[in-house]
Structure 1
Amino acid sequence: MAGGSVLLNELHRKATRWDKIVDEIVRLEKKIFPKHESLARSFDDELKKKNSGLLYLEINGDVVGYVMYSCPSSLCAIITKLAVKENHRRQGHGEALLKASIEKCRSKGIHRVSLHVDPSRTSAMHLYKKLGFQIDTLVKGYYSSDRDAYRMFIDFDKD
């Protein structure tokens, strides 16, 4: 990872900078994702859920990326969002965020992490495959009536 002071943090409800960090993430969310895919309006509600978590990456105090996940059961987790500011891509930040979220889930005893990805997002597909995710199935109309998604997963050995 290039440049400056780099910090990967978990967002906690009682964080002193909660509002500032959530505002930066919401701005990033609005910029990166189409309106119908954005959690910008419901972001605070999503983070209040007991089974969700968010890790974010700061460089010199500026939030440059985040990953959001939820654990709907004690055995599986879902990566719901992964985003990195455009001018910070291809520097290992997305990989660092994804690895950290996978490790977080793994430390909770999760056996499977899954996610959805647009098949046309080749960089994202490459990253997920690099970290061991496999394609499970094609979900027709996942994002919209004319936009599908691959459901991908990674399983952990049950010790």
Structure 2
Amino acid sequence: MAAKGEILELKRNSSSSSGNNWDRIVNDVVRIEKRLFPKHESLAKSFEEELRKKNAGLLYLEVDGEVAGYVMYAWPSSLCASITKLAVKESCQRQGHGGSLLRAAIQKCRERKVQRVTLHVDPLRAPAMNLYKKSGFQVDSLVRGYYSSDRDAYRMFLDFDAD
């Protein structure tokens, strides 16, 4: 059974009565990023810069007042968006949170009327591959050396029906 949590959107200059939400959330996300991704794949050093880009968004899952996971997405054009990062804290994995975050990001992309969402995933990460396939993503191609000289990625896509 999934732990209860709330998916929220990190908004620029967001703050609340409990202080500066932006700093706390970004710090929590960076901590997760550093734990789950190899140094050369981590956005930890450039995270705030990435988030300040005009066409980028971040949704995060808060469980018991802590950031348990996040999904970062971008929409560089009106035609296509991409899921650039999706991560869930190790202690919160296998509880449905990754799927909830992915669905929320896909919905945000739908609201922007994009026609396609893309992402890259290591073919050896079976749980991630299963999640994306279950969500309707299809493998487009194998990108050799995407992560490093000895680590490839599948480029995957999800097309929306034209309204």
TM-score category by the smaller chain?
over 0.9
Quote the RMSD (CA, aligned, Å). 0.8
**Counterpart amino acid of residue 99 in structure 2:** E
Counterpart Cα distance in 2 of 1:60 and 1:2: 13
Task: Return the offset for 1:7.
Answer: 1.1
1:15: how far off? Answer: 1.1
CA distance in 1, matches of 2:120, 2:13: 30
Partner of 2:9: 10
2: CA distance, partners of 1:3 / 1:115? 26
Residue aligning to 1:132: 136
Counting aligned pairs with the same residue, the percent is 66
What is the CA–CA distance in structure 1 between the aligned matches of 2:116 and 2:52, rounded to whole Å?
23
TM-score by length of 2: 0.95
Q: Which runs of 4+ in 1 moved over 6 A?
A: none
In structure 2, distance between residues paired with 1:18 and 1:147: 33
Letter in 1 for 2:90: E
1 CA distance for matches of 2:33 and 2:58?
13
State how far apart, in whole Å, the 1-side matches of 2:82 and 2:7 are. 20
CA distance, structure 2, for counterparts of residue 29 and residue 46 of structure 1: 13
TM-score (structure 1 length as normaliser): 0.97
Structure 2 unaligned runs (5+)?
16-20
> Gaps spanning 5+ residues in structure 1: where?
none
* 1:76-95 map, 5 Å: 76-95=80-99
Distance 1:50 1:112 in 2: 19
Equivalent residues, number: 158
C-alpha offsets along residues 8-30 of structure 1, whole Å, 9 cap, x if unaligned?
A: 00000121110000000001101
1:23 is aligned to: 27
* CA deviations over 1:28-63 (Å, ceiling 9, x no partner): 101100000000000000000000000000001110
State the alpha-carbon separation in 1 of the partners of residues 141 and 121 from structure 2.
11
Aligned ranges for residues 1-159 of structure 1 at < 5 Å? 2-4=2-4, 6-16=5-15, 17-159=21-163
Q: CA deviation at 1:2?
A: 2.7
Q: Deviation per CA, 1:106-152: give whole Å up to 9, x if none.
A: 01101000000000000000000000000000000000000000000
Q: Distance in 2 between matches of 1:18 and 1:111?
A: 30
Q: Quick check: 2:3–2:95 contact (8 Å CA) kept in 1?
A: no
